[in-house]
Structure 1
Amino acid sequence: MSVSLTARAAVAPHARRRVRTAAAFLAPFALLFAVVYLAPIGYTVYQSLFKLHRDGLGLSAPTKVFAGLGNYVDALHDADFRASLLRVLLIGVVQVPVMLGLALVLALLLDARSTLFKRFFRLAFFLPYAVPGVVGALMWSYLVAPGLSPITAAGNALGLHLNLTSNAMLAPTIGNMLTWGWTGYNMLIIYSALQAIPPELSEAARMDGCGAFRIAWHVKIPIVRPALVLTTVFSIIGTAQLYNEPAVLQHVAPNLSSSYTPIFAAYNAVDDNNFGYAATESVLLAVLAFVLSFGFLKLVQRRGAEAAS
């Protein structure tokens, strides 16, 4: 017994030193995380609890008063804000699967043994992501502007009267801009996961008589499933934060609403000096992005558990 107590007493100082060393290494990250991430979130939630109060005549400066959940009630009853949430949800439901499907196909083509000029095509596929988002949106705004668009001109020559900035075409146009800009980024993540697959697995499948399609479907895609889940979560969060494309496109599409997306609506509230309402819309958008991404992760985990059982 005494030997055991002596051994524990000798180990305890070493354990405390390890804990202190680990805490010293983690402290800079924890400090930056708290200052850059947690503090702004907390301040945003705090601001969302206040609203501007103006007197009956509106002659005096507005005062900030505590509103509790009043801003949240107003935002959820705001038809324009609800429409913006539904709009980004519908864009994401269509655009995200299309984009990730293209990214997966391109990554599989690059990973194929018979593909030539892999470095060139890898750079070509990734290049749109290297273009700054605002610059890419400006380029596409010229390509879809009614009076300038070569796409519209080509359609008119074929007897097709296209208007890529009409109300019915705004969502497909923005979805196309997102797909063009982010497919290469997601392709690179999936391609990196494909490169980590041991070549012996593909060789064994090939020796069993599997062709390229069956190897991709039964060997490669199941192994890169975590990369597909990661890119899906990133895409859900990115679509919820949609702003650059509609903000730039509005200059050539005046019919695009100033509250087309939730971020757009929150920016307009900031422009009106209604910071509490803007904070409320930001918090609701963050909650929506969290629910969608976390719900997707839980769905994937449940299906994985069912498949394993």
Structure 2
Amino acid sequence: MTDARQTSYGVKAAPYAHPSPTTALKGALRAPYFFLVPATVLFALFFALPIGYALWLSLHKVHVSGLGLGSGARKEVWAGLENYTDAFKDSELLHGALRVLGYGTIVVPVMLGLALLFALMLDTDRVRLAPFSRLSIFLPYAVPGVVSATLWGFLYLPDVSPFYFVLDRLGLPQPNLLDGGPLYLALSNIAVWGGTGFNMIVIYTSLQAIPAEVYEAAKLDGATPLQIALKIKIPMVAPSLVLTFFFSIIATLQVFSEPTILKPLTNSVSTTWSPLMKVYRDAFGAGDVYSAAAEAVLIALVTLVLSFGFLWAANSRNKQEEAR
């Protein structure tokens, strides 16, 4: 066999070189890395780089000479951990964290409890219009947070809310939901209304993955629907409950839209009501991006520690149960 090939025009074509097995193997091994390049670049530009820049800003501050006028009067200098020390001593940041803690103690249990209840109800054989019910429960999650907070904000205002009109006609008391303690309930209601549907879908999907043979065996043993729900369904969807709890904790620590939207409607919401609102005010209100960066890094670290701490505790418990 000759290396050159004869064409229909009588001209010899260039010999076709077959790649060696070693070259083909190297190309196959390198291919996955080429596919990872776009994702790696996007991760570096829009995630790693901003985090690194925030860390760099948190370790610097502005040194003002004299009255701060003229060129060179304001210089960026190394601050070390000074911004972090000031953040730990900041009472406004601490009070904001305590308010978010109280907010989370209402939102997380109520939201996950309702999500689990709705998922169990939709998983029964007797439910009617299941697709419509699932869509109705999930639909609030599709509404942007700013829109939902604006909507509920006007529903909380006595002058424009239809709820207050009905209460007035019935001669019932009209509580002010935007003042004092009820404010926590008002904010929690917005979060529960918007987040229950997503968590319900996650739990409901896990319920649908349970084999039907498990339910049939339980029914043959005489288990009631309530016993099946409590002793079979809930334990088997425990990983989904852990996942939804994990997401809920992160969302609670990062609450920003709801109190920010309600702030113009009431004097009970300050510009530092939540830690992220404090970061926003310092960065864009006071113009101190260095202190704001340090506060943002602390919030991220607290979120990271709490999240991984909870996941570690959940995994440890699962391993102990499997060892039994």
TM-score by length of 1: 0.91
Query: Aligned partners of 1:11, 1:28: CA distance in 2, in Å?
Result: 28
Partner of residue 122, structure 1: 134
Q: Residues 40-59 of structure 1: matches in 2 within 5 Å? A: 40-55=50-65, 57-59=67-69
- In structure 1, what is the Cα distance between the partners aligned to 2:69 and 2:167? 54
Change beyond 3 A, Cα 1:11–1:306: farther
Alignment of 1:125-274 (within 5 A): 125-155=137-167, 157-271=170-284, 272-274=286-288
Q: Deviations over 1:16-52 (max 9, x none)?
A: 4443122122222222212221111111111111122
Q: Which residue of 2 aligns with 1:29?
A: 39
Tell whether the 8 Å contact from 1:145 to 1:253 is kept in structure 2 after alignment. Answer: no
RMSD over aligned Cα atoms: 2.0
What displacement does 1:295 show?
1.1
Q: 1:44 to 1:12 in 2, by over 3 A?
A: same
2:313 paired residue number? 299
Task: Give the match for residue 286 of structure 1.
Answer: 300
Unaligned runs of 5+ in 1: 1-9
Q: Take 2:22 and 2:119, find their aligned partners in 1: how far apart are those partners?
A: 51
Give the aligned residue type for 1:261. S
Aligned to 1:250, the other structure's residue is in SS state helix
In the alignment, which residue of structure 2 is the partner of 1:102?
114
Quote the offset at 1:152 in angstroms: 4.1
Q: Does 1:19 align with 2:24?
A: no
What secondary structure sits across from 1:138 in the alignment?
helix
Structure 1 window deviating more from structure 2 (54-63 vs 185-194): it is 54-63
Residue 63 of structure 1 deviates from its aligned partner by 3.0
How many angstroms does 1:277 deviate by?
1.1
SS across alignment from 2:264: coil
Question: 1:24, 1:80 → 2: CA distance?
Answer: 48
Please report the TM-score for the alignment, with normalisation by the length of structure 2.
0.87
Instruction: Quickly say closer, same or farther: Cα 1:152–1:296, change in 2 above 3 A.
Output: farther
Matched residues in 1 for 2:310 and 2:256: separation?
23
Q: Deviations over 1:126-171 (max 9, x none)?
A: 1111111111000100111243334445555454341101122222
The aligned residue for residue 13 of structure 2 is none
Deviation of 1:64 (Å) = 2.2
Cα separation, partners in 2 of 1:74 and 1:229, compared to 1, 3 Å: same
| Cα separation, partners in 2 of 1:223 and 1:82, compared to 1, 3 Å | same
Between the aligned residues of both structures, percent identity stands at: 42
Which residue identity is paired with 1:66? W
Residue type of the alignment partner of 1:277: S
Cα distance in 2 for partners of 1:101, 1:241 equals 21
Q: CA deviation at 1:211?
A: 1.2
Cα distance, 1:244 vs structure 2: 0.6
AA paired with 2:45? V
Matched residue, 2:85: 73
Counterparts in 2 of 1:170 and 1:63: CA distance versus 1, 3 Å: farther
Code of the residue aligned with 1:29 in structure 2: it is: A
**Could you report, residue by residue, the CA deviation over 1:46-87 in whole angstroms, capped at 9, with x for unpaired residues?**
111112233454555643221111111111101001111122
Larger Rg: 2
Residue of structure 2 in register with 1:3 after alignment: none
Say which is worse superposed, 166-175 or 142-151, in terms of deviation.
142-151
- Provide the secondary structure at the position in 2 that maps to 1:53: strand
